[in-house]
Amino acid sequence: MVSNSAKVGTRNLYALLVGIDNYPQPIKSLKGCVNDITAIQAYLKNQIAGEWQLREPRILTNEQATRAAIIDGFQNYLCQAGSEDIALFYYSGHGGQEKAPEEFWHLEPDRLDETLVCYDSRTPGNYDLADKELRYLLFQVAKKNPRVIVILDSCHSGSGTRDIPQGVRLAPEDTRDRPLSSFIFAEDASFTNLLLTASAVNKKKTGLELPKGRHILLAACRDDQYAKEYQGDDNQTRGAFSYFFLKSLEQTNGSLSYLDLARNIEALVKGKFSDQVPQLEATNPEDLKASFLGGAIPERPFYFTLRYNTRPNEQGWEIDAGVIHGIPKPVSADETTLLTIFPVGITSEQLSQVLNAPEARVTQVLTQKSKVEIIQGQERLDENKSYWAVVTSLPLKPLKVYIQGNLTEEIGIVLAKKALEKANSGQNSLYLKQVENPADADFKLVALNGQYWINQDERPVVAPIPKQRGYSENAAKEAIEALEAIARWHNILNLKSPQSSEIKASDVEMQIHLIGYEGKDGEIKPVQDSDKSLITDSELRLEYKYEDGEWRKPFIQVKLLNHSNQKLYANVIDLAEDYSVAVPFFDERSSVVLPAQTAESAGIVEGFDDISFSIPDEFLEQGITEYKDILKLIVSKTDFNASLLEQEGLKPPIRGTRGTESESSLDRLMNRVYSRNAARAGKKIDDWITKEVAITIVKPRDAEQLQPGKSAKLLNGLIEVQPHPSLQAQVTLTTVSQTTRDIGNLIAPPILWDEQGVIESFQFTNSRGSSPGLSGVELFAVNDVNSVTKEAPLTLLLNQTLEEGEYLLPVSYDGEFFLPLGGGVNKGKQIEIKLERLPQPTTSSRSLMGSIKIFFKKLRSQKLGNSYEYPILAAAEVKQTENQTEVIYEKDPQAVKNLVANAQKIVLYIHGIIGDTASMVGSIQQAKVELNGQLHPLREAYDLVLTFDYENLDTTIEENARSLKQRLESVGLGANHGKQLHIVAHSMGGLVSRWLIEREGGNQIVQHLVMLGTPNAGSPWPAVQDMTFTLLVWGLNQLPEIVWPAKVVVDLAAKSLEFLEAHDNALDQMQPDSEFFRAIANNPDPQVPYTIIAGDRSLPTLQSPDRLRRLMAKLLNPGVNQVVDDLVFGGEPNDIAVRLTSIKSVSGDRTPQPKVLPNVACDHLTYFTTAAGLKALADALHP
């Protein structure tokens, strides 16, 4: 019942439901969020009954879901909930992160708040709804002591990527500075003080920090994962979490406990997405056992009502159950739900006594009802009467497969399609359905290099077929049979009863007990508290135990408790990651009798007490350290044969019969998982339900001892850690998921999140199935971190290679800072990684002394061309799409010459020490100038934009200047060319330009030079390498006043790593006392206008200056620390890289005199991205 007003004596459910698909640009739109909200709204309206009243839900979708509207929904709607009521907040949309105010840095090690992205969050004057604001709002709702439930289908940190796939509910980070005054609790002194004085937060797995008041949170994923979208029934896009959340509710009669609900969702989501684990959190663990929505969802009877609809155009038989009651939609005319029909008033115990009862099949499933066709006994049914219909069979969906491969794999593709067409005794496979759109596929069969790969969510799930490369009919048949085994596995996982079961979800409890670990001689060494069930959370992880120098596998026992007053039958199915299906937990492989509970206790049946959980050796040999099993509990009122479901890992079952023909409708359904025979109603009408729990088995890699004179080889020699003169440690490889247990989602700084073509997380082994892949190096028992230095690095050799322009950046979090530790480059046919420093160990679940965790980012230095092409003079066109800047280069000399011939006003961009012209030239569109009384992009003031990209490590400034002159002359821009050529030069690019103009006759070529941040009197840094490295460290840790685009930081990192391979001849010239600066100081007057732009963004002294000094002390370079002290604390203005006196150091004894613009509020790396820098550029070029 839905009402706008509360009634005395009635318990109320208040639901604030928010779904946003259509975000303003540049945030990517989603497709399933509004569908999620529509579905949950329909479910609540049709299911809430009894003493409960659903207050009219507050629905906010798309443009309605503004920040103000969501806040109002809390304060003026949910806050009405009283002590007997429920307040539900359901959010489906983008999660995100934003820069935390400095006042919250003690709470946020990564300096980021987790957020919900409102419709107008990223518009001027508005912000996301931060987790601390959500905490405040929920704190207000909780004042009257209602039950508070928060459900979030979004993600809030992700796996560290900016290259967010389509359909992932994570928005890019909001890099704007956000003042404390903008938070909704800013005027609430008590709450603000509570946050400001709080100790460091132990983040939950979702990444969100919510109130400590009593609440329950269901979230779509962990904070290092994605919340993904999924195409459900009718190809309607939904959130994967929301879809399976409602599926679990719809297929349950009455209410599930929160814990059972979360387990079911996790198992079902895992069947589709291996790297999304829904999370359940409660401030009071006992609340996890409570019924979802406090029992507001009543139980249904064991039947559905069958009536004849006499309305015109709707005539026919119908049942009063549809999608929201768990009735699945027909797969085909034959593959649909079957019903047996009984007279009204029959009891569930009498069902099996009725012979030859009429039967029907479902032909159309609507929201609240379904159309059915009578297939047996039509003559015994009266259209003027009602009947009771009981479900006896459910449809089994085929697995949707997309076959792909390029033209060179055509033979393999043809063979695979033929094998699919002949899989069923010469006919199409009954388990698989080929689809033409990859987005519609459950799995992909990829033909690649003579082998078939079976991928789910872009991850291979089995070894390639065949083992030896080469396509054949047998190989194609084997691949299709493997897919059919996977299809059967998924059919079992998704096996669910309709909502009409009389068995309650709470009637049978499955407990999993850790009995002990394997001993030296194979015996089981018991553990304390083995009588306590492990299932206290939605996610269950079983780890091997390291003891006596070996990893010991765990042993478990499954116990089933019958809390009902009737005898039941049950068994537990083990669905393993290798797609095997077994019934191993009890002596009886068919069904186990569960005695009814007595007045004293529940009816308990204990399984074997020596079941070991382990990762198969063939998985361990491939570096796989995580392996998932799903335990599926089936409970029935009648006996059944669970062994019908067994199959070996990826081996097809023996064709033919599977035991004797059963009279049970449940047995028949399980048998059809394999035979796909035509469905028939069984003579015995079963009443049954299922539950699931997913278990992740974790076996960390063995650590190798590293000591002087002895190298350590990891992963069968794939990685070699070379001997170090004094370092002693244990070293191993690890995964992101194992590491996040210790340090949370602090694997890499957000500014180094993956971005296609620029930044990529590096893995030693690929992800496979549910295993995330080995991607980190972990050091234990380190004797002295200070023994690793630039002069005495720790070296790793990898049997892999990098492409040209690629580098590896090792990064580690030391509990306070992200530190770059060195770099990796190609050395022959290997990658050589040199670690030049080690941080202090952080907390580790494996070592009381802690461990050092190192992860790696692959950076691509985006060159405009191959190394032999440099330097490159190109024409550039800049396009703005969805707030993204795309630079299109034309490098062909003849084409550039033609463009020059047709242009009169030309601007030339020249980059500096760091980066390339791609990071500068976007300013030609972003800077605005006044033309004809209106503001236009600077681009409209020029006919042509040119760029000059050059190599500056092994090539001197003078050589680059001469090369620039040659390139200009070759395209028609020689002396006295008769056109206007303006140069925009950054940093070292200004020195190249000055040498061209002042020494190479460029004063006859260039009409105006604009220099931004050019060190005209040299650099204060001992070496340019020191500058780029220090700026990189500052960027990684997001120091105040520095809001650098990701590409800038990547350029810094790439340049730092390029030094590992270079001789840096040119960069020695940057010293103030170099020969170059002595020469340029005596250059003659070129009589060319110069404009100088100097950014004054000296790093402000922090609230605690010791923090910056602590960071710099960890770099272990006294010379660098002296420069930092001078720049930061010395008081002399600078742009963080160059002193302003150096930037402005051009002789005024010239005609015309150099024009020095007022100091600009930007730093050395943001001249071309900040509003102040862009305005100065526009003023310089178009005064």
Asked whether residue 438 falls in the same domain as residue 525, the answer is no
Taken in order 570, 576, 582, 586, the sign of the CA dihedral is negative
pLDDT profile of the chain (1183 residues), mean per 10: 56 93 84 90 81 88 95 94 91 86 73 86 88 87 88 65 51 77 81 61 47 70 72 77 81 68 74 71 73 70 82 88 78 83 76 76 86 90 86 81 89 91 76 87 90 84 86 91 87 74 81 86 80 65 81 88 90 88 87 86 83 81 80 85 80 36 55 49 59 76 80 84 89 74 57 66 70 79 88 90 85 83 88 89 61 84 63 90 75 95 97 87 90 87 95 87 96 95 96 97 97 92 76 75 68 72 63 89 93 79 60 68 65 84 92 94 88 93 87
Phi, psi (deg, nearest 5) at residue 396: -110, 120
What was the pLDDT predicted at 670? 61
User: Which of 362, 393, 424 corresponds to the end of one domain?
Assistant: 393
* Total H helices, total E strands in the chain: 22, 60
Asked whether residue 823 falls in the same domain as residue 945, the answer is no
Asked whether residue 285 falls in the same domain as residue 419, the answer is no
**What's the angle, vertex CA 882, arms to CA 879 and CA 888, rounded to 5?**
20
Domain annotation covers residue 809: no
Distance set, CA 510 to CA 104, 151, 535 (Å): 43, 25, 9
Asked whether residue 339 falls in the same domain as residue 410, the answer is no
What was the pLDDT predicted at 245? 82
Domain annotation covers residue 260: yes
3-class DSSP assignment, residue 363 = strand
Question: Distance between CA 23 and CA 697 in Å, rounded?
Answer: 40
H-only helix segments in 95-223:
131-141, 189-196
Query: Looking at this protein, which amino acid is placed at residue 661?
Result: E
DSSP state of 1083: P
| Alpha-carbon dihedral angle through residues 240, 242, 245, 249, given to the nearest 10 degrees | -130
Domain annotation covers residue 806: no
Domain annotation covers residue 478: yes
Closest CA to 495 of 776, 799, 193, 268: 268
Asked whether residue 434 falls in the same domain as residue 567, the answer is no
Task: Report whether 750 contacts 173 (CB < 8 A).
Answer: yes
- The structural domain count of the chain equals 6
Asked whether residue 205 falls in the same domain as residue 129, the answer is yes
Asked whether residue 1041 falls in the same domain as residue 1114, the answer is yes
Asked whether residue 259 falls in the same domain as residue 403, the answer is no
Which residue's structure tokens are 């023996």? 654
Question: Distance between CA 735 and CA 149 in Å, rounded?
Answer: 33
Phi, psi (deg, nearest 5) at residue 619: -80, -45
What was the pLDDT predicted at 526? 86
Domain annotation covers residue 1060: yes
Question: Distance between CA 687 and CA 391 in Å, rounded?
Answer: 9
Question: Distance between CA 45 and CA 81 in Å, rounded?
Answer: 18
Asked whether residue 522 falls in the same domain as residue 471, the answer is no
Question: Is 0.75 topped by the overall pTM?
Answer: no
Domain annotation covers residue 620: no
Asked whether residue 356 falls in the same domain as residue 446, the answer is no
| Alpha-carbon dihedral angle through residues 1170, 1174, 1175, 1176, given to the nearest 10 degrees | 100
What domain range is 843 assigned to? 704-796+818-860
Task: Dump the DSSP string for 968-1034.
Answer: HHHTT--TT-SSEEEEEEETHHHHHHHHHHHHSSGGGT-SEEEEES--TT--SSS-HHHHHHHHHHH
Domain annotation covers residue 694: no
Task: Report whether 7 contacts 47 (CB < 8 A).
Answer: no
Cis before 466 (ω within 30) = yes
Task: Report whether 108 contacts 127 (CB < 8 A).
Answer: no
Question: Distance between CA 1035 and CA 749 in Å, rounded?
Answer: 9
Domain annotation covers residue 905: yes
Asked whether residue 940 falls in the same domain as residue 831, the answer is no
Which residue's structure tokens are 């439901």? 17
User: Which of 361, 393, 425 corresponds to the end of one domain?
Assistant: 393
- The tokens describing 531, both together, are 């009588």
Q: Write the CATH number for 103.
A: 3.40.50.1460
Asked whether residue 469 falls in the same domain as residue 525, the answer is no
Q: Write the CATH number for 445.
A: 3.40.50
User: Which of 832, 860, 888 corresponds to the end of one domain?
Assistant: 860
